[in-house]
Amino acid sequence: MKKTLLTLSILGSVLSFAQETKNNTESKEKEKQIEGVVITQTKKAVEQKADRTIFDFSEQPALNSGSSLEGIKKLPGMVVTDIAGMMYQGKSLQVYMDGRPLNISTNDLTAFLEGMPASSIERIEVVTQPGAEFPATSGGAILNIITSKSAKSYLTATYSGGYRFSDYDKFRNKFNNSIVLNSKNKWFGWQFSAGQNYNESFGSNEMDDVSTGFNDRYARSYFAKSAVTIELGKDRLLLNYDFFNSDNDSYNTSEGTANFEYPQQSQNLVVADYLNEGKSKNKNYRNELTVTYQKRFTDKAQKLDIRFNYSNFRNNFDQNAVNTIYIPNTNPLIKPSPAENASTQNAYNLRVDYSQPIKLLEEGKISIGGMYDKLNFVTDFYGNENLDYQRQTAAMYTELNTKFKKFSFIAGIRAEDYDISGKSLNLQSGKWDDLRTFKKFQFFPNGSIQYDIAPLVFFNLNYSRKITLPSTGQLNPNNNTFQNPNVNISGNPNVQPTIFNNFEAKLSAFNYGFISYNVSRVNDQVMMYVEKDGYNISQTNVNISSLTQHSFNIAIPVPLMIFSKPLSEVMKFDFNPDKINFLYFYAGYQFQDIKEITEQKGMWFFNVTGQFLLPKGIKFAPTLSYSTNGNYYFFQSTQPIMNRVNVNLSKKFDGDRLTVSLFADDIFNSSRMNFKTVNTPTPIYLNNRWDSRTFGISVNYKIPTKNKLAKVDQNILNTETPKDDNGGVLNQGQ
């Protein structure tokens, strides 16, 4: 064990020290060439901090060559499934964008991320230990997507584009284009980014022995993000507006066996085969406006931020289908199967954050703040409103950060008051029913102790109590996916919030390596529930009363030079990690202890990422992801849910201004999502596959302008990194 830790320390130290040496040398050289230009440190591909892991997308062609969802799926420790949604190192994720929760459902979130090119992401922060300044609704962990790039003076422009294709039953195209503009003068600065994405894809599914389906999908999406920052002396006023639109068509075919009433109006049921053919259309619109006032003081560590945010999200789903029913000894029966559903979500958020240094032990900081949040969610079925859901949250928090010798301490508490109510229309009786209310005032403490074993080697102990409120997709009583005669998929407006008590121990070494163990005690976890009644399958959401989740994770970087050079030469630290061959190993294990489940089995996840330097400045980046079979709440995988090999070849041209990448994802066509239920008397089998094997090219070009090396500033396109290294508040535009 001592040798392992020593090796890990040496390897991490090599990568970290070499990175800093390279940056310092390059900065001095470039500052000599252009007066007044400040070159910041080169970004790390992976960076470990006390409360989060940061993945840089902007300079990694292996991550930014496809859609945002595809890039996220490639992150070590990340699992994305239809069953459990997004999980990182065993923790359920709430998805944020630029410091704010998206608050959209699983299906809509998937469409949103599929329609957003990965090239528009600057970095992704996975906050595994959200502190008191985060809403208690952050649950297990937060995935914060930081978008775009920025510059401080004059004008810069960057174009990104890509083309992919798949060839299964037929040839399918996928392409994206986007541009980012940044400018600033002495009075104000502005940024604008816009883009589009087009994706042809297919999906097939089997639900036990009663239904098989195939869909041919055409997805189109467009986005625009704009920002203006106005200088008011030391203070700043920031205005942001974001827009997203998607228009997706799906041509569907399914067949199976079901019970049908025949003759009609006779209440006599017969068993018959059917063929269901039709088209569905799903349209999404998202508008978001944010106003932020940043008050600054003589002491730069003292800050006051006031932010108001409004977002509107609308979804429309239409289905036009025809069932051909083959009743024995009769002519086929033709029966229409239409659907028309919609939902509207309005969210309002007002937040105040204040922080200042205090004299506590060697150094300290105190942060206090408050928040008011309101959500209205309304759904309709064939133009008739059938759900009116309202949620209000008021919160206050305080958090202390201090340091004594090699120890760092964080202690915080957050108080939140919830008022959740609403009503739903019973379509059978025509009467409105009140939803289960949730009116509670609760405290959410958090604490962290960090010991500095050596420079860039830390040991952390963390505790936090959190809550997750049901997403609108989990609440929506209407279906928003194409359905056939014997499959019913809907939400449950009565599911309750989930409470987490999280405990974690973590050893981090030199940003890239870590070992962690996490235990979460969870009450009322919301989870997909599937049951079968004869030939009918229904899918909805329910609360699991209690469970305990265990998670173990380890990541180790291995520069391949240790096999060809003596350790004494490796210890000279005179190399650049961007110019060496290396492998990055990740392994994770998770086990969910649910008393209702007798067949319990943990699951291992493995990820190996490599970088190999080829002649002519070409980089070869392969990735292998694999998982063993195991349990996911009420489900057990029957095939590995992660089993794919991706490869990427990239090269820079024109003084590093142009980056071109060739890539192939899932080259062995092995990705599947196959599960069986473990909470039903007889297992129900659910199988899904899609065109995961794709090939393509991506291009990123920094368009020449008069100021070729404009001074870099933090992004103002609604980017917020909620904490800095010392646990303080760090907001946009600083």
Average pLDDT of the segment spanning 24-45:
42
Banded pLDDT at 577 (limits 50, 70, 90): low
CA 69 to chain CA centroid, Å, is 8
Banded pLDDT at 6 (limits 50, 70, 90): very low
Q: What is the pTM of this model?
A: 0.76
Instruction: Examine the pLDDT at 725 and tell me if it is beyond 50.
Output: no
Instruction: Examine the pLDDT at 154 and tell me if it is beyond 70.
Output: no
Q: CA 518, CA 499: separation in Å to the nearest integer?
A: 16
Q: For residue 152, which of 709, 717, 712 has the smallest C-alpha distance?
A: 712
Give 454-515 as a 3 state SS string. Answer: ECCEEEEEEEEEEEECCCHHHHCCCCCCCCCCCEEECCCCCCCCEEEEEEEEEEEECCCEEE
Buried b / exposed e over 722-734, threshold 16 CB at 10 Å, is bbeebbbbbbbbe
Q: 47-51, 204-208, 615-619: lowest mean pLDDT where?
A: 47-51
Average pLDDT of the segment spanning 711-726:
40
What pLDDT is recorded for position 232? 87
CA angle 370, 376, 377 (to 5 degrees): 135
Which strand (E) or helix (H) includes residue 113? helix 106-114
What pLDDT is recorded for position 709? 42
* CB 281, CB 215: distance < 8 Å: no
Residues 6+ apart with CB under 8 A from 32: none
Q: CA 44, CA 578: separation in Å to the nearest integer?
A: 9
Instruction: Examine the pLDDT at 236 and tell me if it is beyond 70.
Output: yes
Banded pLDDT at 642 (limits 50, 70, 90): confident
**Residue bearing the bigger pLDDT, 492 or 251:** 251
Instruction: Examine the pLDDT at 521 and tell me if it is beyond 90.
Output: yes
Average pLDDT of the segment spanning 46-67:
70
What pLDDT is recorded for position 598? 83
Q: CA 225, CA 326: separation in Å to the nearest integer?
A: 52
Banded pLDDT at 477 (limits 50, 70, 90): confident
CA angle 166, 629, 676 (to 5 degrees): 85
Q: For residue 639, which of 604, 592, 687, 591 has the smallest C-alpha distance?
A: 687
Instruction: Examine the pLDDT at 489 and tell me if it is beyond 80.
Output: yes
Instruction: Examine the pLDDT at 28 and tell me if it is beyond 70.
Output: no
Q: 263-277, 414-428, 663-677, 704-718: lowest mean pLDDT where?
A: 704-718
% residues pLDDT > 70 (the chain): 78
Q: CA 94, CA 141: separation in Å to the nearest integer?
A: 6
Instruction: State which of 42-51, 359-368, 471-480 shows the largest mean pLDDT.
Output: 359-368
Q: CA 215, CA 279: separation in Å to the nearest integer?
A: 9
Average pLDDT of the segment spanning 533-547:
89
**Residue bearing the bigger pLDDT, 123 or 33:** 123
Q: For residue 466, which of 518, 523, 544 has the smallest C-alpha distance?
A: 523
Per-residue tokens: 45: 């591909």
CB atoms within 10 A of CB 384: 9
Banded pLDDT at 710 (limits 50, 70, 90): very low
Q: 102-106, 337-341, 462-466, 626-630: lowest mean pLDDT where?
A: 102-106
What pLDDT is recorded for position 596? 82
Q: CA 641, CA 473: separation in Å to the nearest integer?
A: 23
Q: 113-122, 208-217, 309-318: lowest mean pLDDT where?
A: 113-122
Average pLDDT of the segment spanning 375-402:
92
Average pLDDT of the segment spanning 358-386:
91
Which strand (E) or helix (H) includes residue 277? strand 269-296
Q: CA 279, CA 642: separation in Å to the nearest integer?
A: 30
What is the widest separation between alpha-carbon atoms in the chain?
A: 89
CA 290 to chain CA centroid, Å, is 21
User: CA-CA distances (angstroms) from residue 726 to 51, 126, 460, 464?
Assistant: 10, 17, 14, 18
% residues pLDDT > 90 (the chain): 40
CB atoms within 10 A of CB 228: 15
Banded pLDDT at 21 (limits 50, 70, 90): very low
Instruction: Examine the pLDDT at 32 and tell me if it is beyond 60.
Output: no
**Dihedral (Cα; 294, 298, 301, 306), 10-degree rounding:** -20
Average pLDDT of the segment spanning 504-533:
87
Which strand (E) or helix (H) includes residue 335? strand 333-336
- For 139, the 3-state DSSP assignment is coil
Average pLDDT of the segment spanning 555-584:
70
Instruction: Give 681: exposed, middle or buried? Use CB within 10 Å, 0-12, 13-18, 19+.
Output: exposed
Q: 492-496, 600-604, 714-718: lowest mean pLDDT where?
A: 714-718
Alpha carbons within 13 A on the beta-carbon side of 131: 29
What pLDDT is recorded for position 576? 56
- For 131, the 3-state DSSP assignment is coil
What radius of gyration do the chain's Cα atoms show?
A: 26
Alpha carbons within 13 A on the beta-carbon side of 731: 24
Provide the pairing of β-strand 487-489 with 536-559: parallel
DSSP 73: H
What pLDDT is recorded for position 153? 45
Instruction: Examine the pLDDT at 603 and tell me if it is beyond 60.
Output: yes
- Distance in angstroms between the alpha carbons of the first and the last residue of the chain: 43
What pLDDT is recorded for position 515? 92
Banded pLDDT at 481 (limits 50, 70, 90): confident
What pLDDT is recorded for position 315? 92
CA angle 520, 525, 528 (to 5 degrees): 130
Q: Is-cis flag, bond preceding 455, omega within 30?
A: no
What pLDDT is recorded for position 245? 94
CB atoms within 10 A of CB 279: 15
What pLDDT is recorded for position 721? 38
What pLDDT is recorded for position 716? 43
Residues 6+ apart with CB under 8 A from 19: 41, 42, 44, 576, 577
**Dihedral (Cα; 630, 632, 634, 638), 10-degree rounding:** -40
What pLDDT is recorded for position 106? 58
- The chain-wide mean pLDDT, for the chain, equals 80
Q: For residue 378, which of 320, 312, 468 has the smallest C-alpha distance?
A: 312
Which long-range contacts link 680-684 to residues 24+ away (Cβ below 8 Å)? Answer: 680/530, 680/531, 680/532, 682/532, 684/207, 684/208, 684/530, 684/531, 684/532, 684/537
Q: 223-232, 514-523, 553-562, 564-573: lowest mean pLDDT where?
A: 564-573
Residue in this structure with the two tokens 């050079």, named with its chain if needed:
565
- For 729, the 3-state DSSP assignment is coil
